[in-house]
Amino acid sequence: MERVTVTLGERSYPITIEAGLFNHPASFEPLRAGDKALLVTNDSIAPLYLDVVRHSLEKLGVNVDTAILPDGEKYKTLSVMDQVFTKLLQGNHGRDTTLIALGGGVIGDLTGFAAASYQRGVRFIQVPTTLLSQVDSSVGGKTAVNHPLGKNMIGAFYQPAAVVIDIDCLKTLPARELSSGLAEVIKYGIILDADLFDWLEQNIDALLALDVQAMGYCIRRCCEIKAQVVAADEREGGVRALLNLGHTFGHAIEAEMGYGNWLHGEAVSAGMVMAAETSRLLGQFSQSDVDRIKRLLARANLPVNGPESMKPEAYLPHMLRDKKTLAGELRLVLPTAIGQSEVRGGIAHEVVLSGISHCLI
Amino acid sequence: MERVTVTLGERSYPITIEAGLFNHPASFEPLRAGDKALLVTNDSIAPLYLDVVRHSLEKLGVNVDTAILPDGEKYKTLSVMDQVFTKLLQGNHGRDTTLIALGGGVIGDLTGFAAASYQRGVRFIQVPTTLLSQVDSSVGGKTAVNHPLGKNMIGAFYQPAAVVIDIDCLKTLPARELSSGLAEVIKYGIILDADLFDWLEQNIDALLALDVQAMGYCIRRCCEIKAQVVAADEREGGVRALLNLGHTFGHAIEAEMGYGNWLHGEAVSAGMVMAAETSRLLGQFSQSDVDRIKRLLARANLPVNGPESMKPEAYLPHMLRDKKTLAGELRLVLPTAIGQSEVRGGIAHEVVLSGISHCLI
């Protein structure tokens, strides 16, 4: 069993990583006999894992209600979140209830924000079932829903009480979603950890083949990096912003193409290449490192170009709504080497447009 | 000028109380030249105060957008809050924007929750225009919207950066709303301050006549009490719950009658008498003190009975959804003397029903 602690004073919490965790009632601590909980999941995950998780919770003595939401990024909205509140109120859930998010990033983000907001805050537990949510969105307390005019624009910083990662889940994950998760894994290597990037170049095939040992190491290492960054900068005043490498470009792709048509990791993958190209144009990143990044992403079956139908000019209006934008000035995360990156403002829009245009087919 | 500080470490903030504040740009600190802000108000307040406030902000050099919402408790919803987000996104407001709540409790609660949630949290300033919001809801950081199944069920603890109280506003406040505010004023006397209760018995007529000196003292004293309680217990783990005297009963009235048909303070007024009667039935509050409370409320033109059409049994389902309810057990704030009160659980439902039945015509 791999275990990582997110250190945030009295709001610290454990991340547990192992194959088969869903079968063990003890995996779901701090829940205990007599507690009440609402298990939130979606209609794709429910047939696969709802019964086993509910069974373990019931064995633990937890009184469990269930909310099954429609699957997909386009349902990460205020009005779908309102259905969770309705379920909680109909079931007379009090301030002492616990929300359990069983699913990928959409379920985790929405359930986390619901937990932050229900009666001004109740406990919640993240049970991420996709690689992307296991290595990224379930850790760190960023919760949100989307608005038609921008992704993740409405939310809260709200930490879970525990993160429970059962690696066995990945066996039922569609190949495209596995690759989408690898985009965030590769991101950690680019922004902060050259050794991880090297390791990924050696082990990407083992990860694609779901080798349990490689995957366990990979998830643990990513959670460690994320936990360190979050402990240093919970509310994204500084270093945490680096985790957004590729995301400003990627969000533009997701918004323009309609949420869910490009997977998040796919959009981030193309976005990371755009950031790398922009950095190269600024003279602070080498062509050979751009190529290394593109090669690794391609081996992970990820796109290294933006959508054919999307002109560079179509990116900017979305990018200017990015949360890192201050007083109308675009701020981008740019790699300065493999394993190093920085947040940079004041870049001329034409340079950004040129960076994007290097990533069109 | 009266000034009270809410002491919460680096989140401390000032409450400024004076007649004519809206005319002075300096009233709106910490806003300053070059800042961007969204002024949120409703269609009743806008014709009265929007121009003067906007003019002062523009004189200060603030770049101000405006969102005018429909007036009324029934619009304190997630979907109306979503209109505020749309306005913010359409105006390209970034994380460095400030939301200004110009209005009563509905505008303050909704705008505060919007500020807590927009891009996971932006600055906001409370500019309460009703007595109720000046003495209660604008101070302390409780923000929320309603759900069809319960009032204030969705929200956040989120402190403003400043509270700006212009007493002149009360001149345009309908008499019924002035009385509604006095219900919360009287509440402070009952739960924590026997001297204030005595003072109110002497000065209630001066307050109803909007005597500036009496009103200035009254608002300042209420803000002081609220600030002390909030500083001691921001998240309502203990003493802060006392501020809910009458509210569990009152929320049942509001929900059953339809939000906005009974004003909040009217429902709280009847609810406080119900709490006093329940406490008397438990042998811990005297009939003469019940009568003192009823007399003072009646002099403030407030109801001392629940709605005729509402049977005692109709209260309980709403009351069991109260946020103080833990594991299905009703917990009530009950006065133990004028100026003293406690939170108490484990009271038999028939005693509560009997307390309510003493307050039906």
CA gap B250, B255 in Å, rounded = 9
Planar angle of CA B207, B211, B213, nearest 5 degrees: 105
Q: What is the mean pLDDT of residues A303-331?
A: 86
Token pair 């509140």: residue: A85
A207 and A347 together in one domain: yes
- H/E stretch holding B134: none
| Arithmetic mean of pLDDT, B332-359 | 95
- CB atoms near residue B313 (< 10 Å): 11
Q: In the prediction, which pLDDT does B237 show?
A: 81
> What is the mean pLDDT of the segment spanning A297-325?
91
Residue B8 has pLDDT above 70, yes or no: yes
A74 assigned to a ligand binding site: yes
The residue out of B172, B188, B211 marking a domain boundary is: B172
Q: Radius of gyration over alpha carbons of chain B, in Å?
A: 20
B71 is an annotated ligand-binding site residue: yes
Cis ω for the linkage preceding A30 (within 30 of 0)? yes
Q: How far is CA B269 from CA A174, B132, B179, B187, in A?
A: 59, 12, 10, 8
Looking up tokens 């000046």 gives: B134
Q: Could you give the number of structural domains in chain A?
A: 2
Q: Which amino acid is at A142?
A: K
Verify that A163 and A207 share a domain, yes or no.
no
Q: What is the mean predicted confidence (pLDDT) over A62-75? A: 95
A27 contacts: CB under 8 Å, gap ≥ 6: A16, A21, A56, A164, A166
Render the burial of A343-360: b for 16+ CB within 10 Å, e for the rest: bbeebeeeebeebbebbe
From B247, B294, B318, B323, active-site residue: B247
Q: State the nearest Cα–Cα gap between A155 and chain B, in angstroms.
A: 5
pLDDT of residue A235: 85
A148-177 confidence digits (pLDDT tens): 988 899 999 999 999 999 999 999 999 999
Cβ contact (<8 Å) for B85 and A328? no
Would you state the pLDDT for residue B2?
85
| B154 and B190 both lie in a single domain | no
CA of B269 to nearest chain A CA: how many angstroms apart?
Answer: 23
- Is A73's pLDDT higher than 80? yes
First-last CA distance in chain A: 44
Q: CA of A313: how far to CAs of A309, A344, B235, in Å? A: 12, 20, 47
The yes-or-no verdict on residue B47 having pLDDT over 70 is yes
A2, A205 Cβ separation under 8 angstroms: no
Which residues of A belong to the active site?
Answer: 120, 142, 184, 226, 236, 240, 244, 247, 251, 264
Domain's final residue, options A126, A147, A172? A172
Instruction: Indicate whether B106 and B154 sit together in one domain.
Output: yes
Q: What are phi and psi of A104, to 5 degrees?
A: -90, -160
Q: Concatenate the DSSP letters of all residues of A304-327 into one string.
A: SS--TT--GGGHHHHHTTSTT-BT
**Nearest CA-CA partner of B133 in B41, B53, B26:** B41
Chain B, nearest residue to A77 by Cα:
B82
Percentage of residues in chain A with pLDDT exceeding 70? 98
- Residue A168 and residue A74 in one domain: yes
Domain enclosing residue B316, as ranges: 175-357
Work out the average pLDDT over A4-14: 91
**Which residue, among B253, B315, B305, B302, has the nearest Cα to B276 in the 3D structure?**
B305
* CATH number assigned to the domain comprising residue B258: 1.20.1090.10
Rounded CA separation A104/A212 (Å): 20
Query: Which residues, 6+ apart, have CB-to-CB distance to A28 below 8 Å?
Result: A56, A57, A60, A62, A100, A125, A162, A164
Looking at the fold, whether A278 and A138 belong to one and the same domain comes out as no
- Residue B38 corresponds to which tokens in the numbers above? 């969204």
DSSP B130: S
* Helix, strand or coil, per DSSP, at residue A345: strand
The answer to whether B198 is annotated as binding is no
In this predicted structure, what is the pLDDT of residue B326? 66
pLDDT value, residue A326: 65
Residue B276 has pLDDT above 80, yes or no: yes
Mapped onto helix, strand or coil, the DSSP state of residue B165 is strand
Cα gap B125→A149, rounded to integer Å: 25
Domain shared by B140 and B217, yes or no: no
Q: Which parts of B225-294 are beta strand (E)?
A: none
Catalytic residue status for B120: yes
Residue contact B89–A150, C-beta within 8 A = yes
State whether B155 and A78 contact (CB < 8 Å): no
- B192-218: average pLDDT: 97
Q: Judge whether residue B240 has pLDDT over 80.
A: yes
Which candidate in B87, B93, B123, B142 is catalytic?
B142
pLDDT at A155: 98
Which DSSP string do the residues of A127-153 spell out, in sequence order? Answer: EE-SHHIIIIITSS-EEEEEETTEEEE
Q: Distance, in angstroms, between A205 CA and closest chain B CA?
A: 38
What is the edge-to-edge ordering of all strands in the sheet holding B63-69?
Answer: B2-6, B13-18, B162-166, B123-128, B98-103, B36-42, B63-69
Chain A: residue whose CA lies nearest to B78: A78
- How would residue A280 be classed by pLDDT, with cut points 50, 70 and 90? very high
Q: Which of the two residues, B239 and A154, has the higher pLDDT score?
A: A154
**What are the Cα distances from residue B68, in Å, to B65, B90, B113?**
10, 15, 16
| Chain B residues with CB-CB distance to A85 below 8 A | 147, 149, 153-154
In this prediction, residues B119-127 reach a mean pLDDT of 97
Chain B interface includes A117 (CB < 8 A): yes
Distance from the Cα of B320 to chain A's closest Cα (Å) equals 8
The answer to whether A324 is a known ligand-binding residue is no
Q: Are residues B188 and B166 in the same domain?
A: no
B30 lies in the same domain as B148: yes
Clarify whether residues B343 and B317 are in a common domain.
yes
pLDDT digits (tens, 9 = 90+) for B222-238: 999 999 999 998 888 88
Per residue in B80-94, pLDDT tens? 999 999 999 999 999
Q: Does B156 touch chain A (CB under 8 A)?
A: yes
For position B30, which CATH number holds? 3.40.50.1970
Query: If pLDDT is split at 50, 70 and 90, which confidence band does A327 have?
Result: low
Could you give the CA distance from residue B293 to residue A327 in angstroms, rounded to a whole number? 53
- Tokens read off for B202: 């002497």
Are the beta carbons of B231 and B8 closer than 8 angstroms?
yes
For A33-85, the DSSP string reads TT-EEEEEEETTTIIIIIHHHHHHHHHHT-EEEEEEEPPSGGG-SHHHHHHHH
Q: Which residues contact B162 (CB under 8 A, 6 or more apart)?
A: B13, B14, B15, B16, B28, B29, B30, B125, B126
Mean local confidence (pLDDT), A114-132: 97
> Which has the closest alpha carbon to A159: A2, A8, A21, A4?
A8
Mean pLDDT over the full length of chain A: 94
Q: Could you tell me if A345 and A222 lie in one domain?
A: yes
Whether residue A168 is found in the same domain as residue A188: no
A196-214 burial, b at 16+ Cβ within 10 Å, e below that, comes to bbebbeebbeebbeeeeeb
B348 at A interface, C-beta within 8 A:
no
Helix, strand, coil tally for chain B in percent (to 5): 50, 20, 30
| Residue A25 clears pLDDT 90, i.e. is over it | yes
Closest CA to B351 of B322, B310, B319: B319
What is the pLDDT averaged over residues A19-27? Answer: 95
Q: Which of A39-43, B7-11, B170-174 has the lowest mean pLDDT?
A: B7-11
Residue B247 is among the residues annotated as catalytic for this protein: yes
Please state which of the ranges A44-58, B4-18, B155-169, B317-331 shows the lowest mean pLDDT: B317-331
- Chain B residues with CB under 8 Å of A159 CB are none
Residue B318 annotated in active site: no
pLDDT for residue B327: 63
Please list every residue in chain A whose beta carbon sits closer than 8 Å to the beta carbon of residue B325. 92, 94-95
Do B279 and B334 touch, CB atoms closer than 8 A? Answer: yes
Name the B residues in 32-61 with CB < 8 Å from any A CB.
36
CB contacts, 8 Å: A318 with chain B:
none
Q: Is B328 within 8 Å of A94 when comparing Cβ atoms?
A: yes
Residues B323, A94: C-beta atoms closer than 8 Å: yes
Mean pLDDT, rounded, for A29-46: 97
Last residue of a domain, one of B172, B191, B213: B172
Q: Which residues in chain B are contacts of A116 at CB distance < 8 A?
A: 156
Q: Which residues pair with B103 in a beta bridge?
A: B128
